[in-house]
């Protein structure tokens, strides 16, 4: 199966979904918000975008199933191939008019990522990757940065919005990164953070309490761009592990060591 060709088809579907989000952003009102919790928002835009993606992806790979954030009706898992979809990663940003949000879709065969796209809607940047074929932004090849150490690195992170039991540990980790690096950024979209690591804009990213649909596409982007992805303290696959460290590879051990100082 030609996963590079599939990733190109996926990019076209993601762009169409992004056009819908862009169109709706012009007239979106906060009265359209449904709240899953004080820190977890959803709107009709999330749900309609997911339906558009499911319909479009069924045409790309009819035998594939779906792992979705919003639970679109009829979108069930399959045995071999599954699309992992976050229709609007950065919903809170979208709701508040902050222009950092994305469409994120990864394709897995079994447990292995084989294709992925992150489409950053406002900047019209489409990041795509396929297993063994490299990573691209708007069809130009991208690579992770060659920054050799944490002291010269720019790091991205995110904050958990449902699990605050480890917040004190997390803030200590954050403070350590702030002291050791050029700085820490929090954009509000894990998919964009990972795409930016792949493109060499960030040297590293770390976050916990993530779901597979937050990171699936971005993890493949990073590895296909020459970077490395693991869990916080171990070298396991982070796709379903809830913790992610992603980097250009050069700063990875320093990042894990920094987290290990405070993480219980």
Of the candidates 39, 35, 18, the residue with the CA atom closest to the CA atom of residue 158: 39
Q: Are 197 and 156 in contact (CB under 8 A)?
A: yes
The response to whether 69 counts as a known ligand-binding position is yes
Q: In what order do the strands lie in the sheet with 228-230?
A: 183-185, 154-157, 204-208, 243-247, 228-230
Query: What does DSSP say about strands 112-120 and 125-130: parallel, antiparallel, or unpaired?
Result: antiparallel
Give the Cβ contact number of residue 110 at 10 Å.
9
CA distance 101 to 90: 5
Q: Are 256 and 245 in contact (CB under 8 A)?
A: yes
The response to whether 169 counts as a known ligand-binding position is no
The response to whether 214 counts as a known ligand-binding position is yes
CA distance 226 to 13: 26
Q: In a 3-state reduction of DSSP, which class is residue 196?
A: helix
The response to whether 55 counts as a known ligand-binding position is no
Q: In a 3-state reduction of DSSP, which class is residue 109?
A: strand
> What are the binding residues for Mg(2+)?
69, 86, 88-89, 214
> What are the binding residues?
69, 86, 88-89, 214
């Amino acid at each position: 199966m030609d996963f590079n060709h599939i990733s190109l088809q996926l990019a076209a579907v993601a762009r169409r979904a992004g056009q819908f989000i862009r169109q709706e952003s012009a007239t979106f009102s906060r009265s359209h918000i449904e709240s899953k919790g004080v820190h977890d928002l959803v709107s009709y835009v999330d749900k309609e975008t997911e339906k558009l993606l499911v319909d479009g992806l069924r045409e790309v790979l009819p035998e594939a199933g779906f792992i979705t954030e919003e639970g679109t009706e009829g979108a069930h898992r399959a045995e071999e191939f599954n699309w992992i979809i976050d229709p609007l990663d950065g919903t809170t940003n979208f709701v508040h008019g902050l222009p950092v949000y994305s469409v994120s879709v990864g394709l897995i065969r079994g447990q292995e990522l084989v294709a992925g796209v992150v489409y950053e809607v406002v900047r019209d940047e489409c990041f795509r990757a396929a297993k063994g074929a490299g990573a691209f932004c708007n069809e130009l090849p991208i690579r992770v940065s060659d920054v050799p150490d944490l002291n010269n690195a720019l790091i991205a992170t995110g904050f958990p919005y449902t699990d605050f039991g480890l917040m004190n540990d997390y803030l200590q980790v954050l403070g350590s990164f702030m002291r050791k690096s050029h700085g820490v950024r929090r954009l509000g979209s894990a998919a964009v953070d990972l795409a930016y690591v792949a493109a060499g804009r960030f040297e590293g990213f770390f976050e916990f309490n993530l779901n597979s649909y937050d990171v699936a596409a971005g993890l493949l982007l990073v590895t296909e761009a020459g970077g490395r992805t693991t869990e916080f303290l171990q070298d396991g696959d982070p796709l379903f592990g809830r913790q992610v460290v992603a980097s250009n590879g050069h700063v990875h051990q320093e990042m894990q060591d920094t987290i290990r100082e405070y993480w219980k």
